[in-house]
Amino acid sequence: MSQKYLFVCGCPRSGTTALVKLLNSHNSIGIGMERYKYYASKDKINKINPSSFEEDRFFDFKEDQTNIIWSDFYDNLKIKYANKITYLGDKYPHYYNFYSELNQEFRNTKWIFMLRDIVDVAMSYDHRAANPLDKWSEKADYTKAVVHWNDSLAKTWKYIKTNKNKNLFVCQYEKLFAYDESYLKSLTDFLDVDFSQEISSFYSTMTKNWKLRIEQKANIQPKKLEYIQQNAKIALKENLVRIVQKDNLLQPNHVN
């Protein structure tokens, strides 16, 4: 069986990091954490190819490839590489700009696009932009969140409408992290991997404080909410979710 690949993307602050940690709790999945983020540009995206995920190259970190080298995270992946892994791949929010390019390089590929409510994304942008100790740009506030969110939706919508392989799963943040095992199972079914005890246990632990987080969530300022309501492509989000459900993209075995 040929090697399978998985790429995770979505607007920044949409839960892609948490999703990768969840996916990697499964023994058959080994996804990088923005392993090739600096190659996610028009002039460098062709540097990401199947050889990028061969063991000797994947763990040979270069400054022009990434700035995220978490020892515990990659130590666990090294253990997986010692065995045959069903899925190799990477997560970087802005990979949604390169659906076509990466599909051309990786012929046995699936995608997960994380979709989170724009209000929560915008508040997360604001929180980071206001923190002087955070390397996050102070200009990347709620208005920039709307720009990125809209862009991610538009490009994912275009991909779904033109892609005949049906190899993309739109993962709704609120459904996943509210602890819905049936929803997580639809994701493992899409990947055609078993709903293992390891991923089930990890899922239960990572979502146990969901209700408390909802209760403690701060309210957004009215002027910011008004801006979001006027500028965010809410209808496109609804259409994106609807067409995915209608076209039955959540079924397994739809691989290039």
Domain-wise residue ranges, the chain: 4-246
Collect all residues with Cβ–Cβ distance below 8 Å to 60 and sequence separation of at least 6: none
Predicted TM-score (pTM) of the model is: 0.93
Q: What is the pLDDT along the chain (256 residues), one digit of tens a residue?
A: 689 999 999 999 999 999 999 999 999 999 999 999 999 999 999 999 999 999 999 999 999 999 999 999 999 999 999 888 999 999 999 999 999 999 999 989 999 999 999 999 999 999 999 898 888 898 899 999 999 999 999 999 999 988 877 899 999 999 999 999 999 999 999 999 999 999 999 999 999 988 877 777 778 999 999 999 999 999 999 999 888 776 544 444 444 3
> What does the alpha-carbon distance between residue 59 and residue 65 come to, in Å, rounded to a whole number?
11
Max alpha carbon distance in the chain (Å)? Answer: 54
Q: Looking at the DSSP assignment, which residues form a beta bridge with residue 4?
A: 87
Residues 102/48, Cβ–Cβ less than 8 Å: yes
Residues 23/31, Cβ–Cβ less than 8 Å: yes
Number of H helices, E strands in the chain: 12, 5
- In words, the CATH class of domain 4-246 is alpha beta
> What does the alpha-carbon distance between residue 57 and residue 61 come to, in Å, rounded to a whole number?
8
Residues 118/149, Cβ–Cβ less than 8 Å: yes
> What does the alpha-carbon distance between residue 189 and residue 193 come to, in Å, rounded to a whole number?
6
> What does the alpha-carbon distance between residue 149 and residue 143 come to, in Å, rounded to a whole number?
10
Q: Looking at the DSSP assignment, which residues form a beta bridge with residue 110?
A: 6
Return the SS3 of 84. coil
**In the numeric block, which tokens belong to residue 105?**
């390089």
State residue 98 phi and psi, 5-degree precision: -135, 35
Burial class (CB in 10 A: 0-12, 13-18, 19+), 125: buried
